[in-house]
Amino acid sequence: GQNIDQPTEMTATEGAIVQINCTYQTSGFNGLFWYQQHAGEAPTFLSYNVLDGLEEKGRFSSFLSRSKGYSYLLLKELQMKDSASYLCAVWDSNYQLIWGAGTKLIIKP
Amino acid sequence: NAGVTQTPKFRVLKTGQSMTLLCAQDMNHEYMYWYRQDPGMGLRLIHYSVGEGTTAKGEVPDGYNVSRLKKQNFLLGLESAAPSQTSVYFCASSYPGTSGGQETQYFGPGTRLLVL
């Protein structure tokens, strides 16, 4: 079966750095997405990785290792507005998006 | 640009009632999707469409029907609602990718459905 694992919840301090991990087992791989979802709102796109390595976008970076079936999202200089759920999703061999359950990130002052 | 819009935002149904959820996008996207999101679970694909007049089943299609008569609209129907269909429903749209796959998906604000 297809499976994406993320921690259910994480807590971090304002101004700090946090790394949210995602491991996947899917039938094929055509890319990995990270989305942000604030409570009661729609998911919004953060990043897309299809090749191994680190993609940096301002305070957010995303890393991919296809051989390990592993990705992480790194958030630097955390702000209170970063409190949200972070969803990992993988394109499988049929270009269907398989979604993880999401990681709820709580930022404390 | 409004992006992706959904109506209604919230609805309460009794078991056995029917309803239609409407999704509209103004980005000229070819692909459109309907998902449901339940606590502790990832987004699950109900149905999707790769173009006007075409639809296909996703992971959890039972109990739902869809239609894509116009490129900008994607309708989700519940013919006989059941309590198990209580959920938040999200519509999304995207361009097809250059590889023939799906690009970044843009989501609507969601419809909260409660079936009693």
pLDDT digits (tens, 9 = 90+) for A45-103: 999 999 999 999 899 999 999 999 999 999 999 999 999 999 999 988 877 889 999 99
Any chain B CB within 8 A of the CB of A96?
yes
The answer on pLDDT for B4 being more than 50 is yes
Per residue, the 3-state secondary structure of A68-91, as one string, reads CCEEEEEECCCCHHHCEEEEEEEE
Digit-coded pLDDT (tens) for B14-59: 999 999 999 999 999 999 999 999 988 889 999 999 899 999 999 9
Amino acid letter, A74:
L
Kindly give, in sequence order, each residue whose CB lies less than 8 Å from that of residue A71, ignoring residues fewer than 6 positions away. A21, A22, A23, A24, A32, A34, A49, A62, A63, A64, A65, A88
Strand ordering across the sheet containing B73-78? B4-7, B19-25, B73-78, B64-67
**What pLDDT does A41 receive?**
94
Any chain B CB within 8 A of the CB of A98?
yes
Average pLDDT over residues B73-86: 97
The answer on pLDDT for B98 being more than 70 is no
Any chain A CB within 8 A of the CB of B39?
no
Any chain B CB within 8 A of the CB of A9?
no
**How many angstroms away from the CA of B18 is the closest CA of chain A?**
25
Nearest beta carbon to residue A99 from set B43, B101, B109: B43
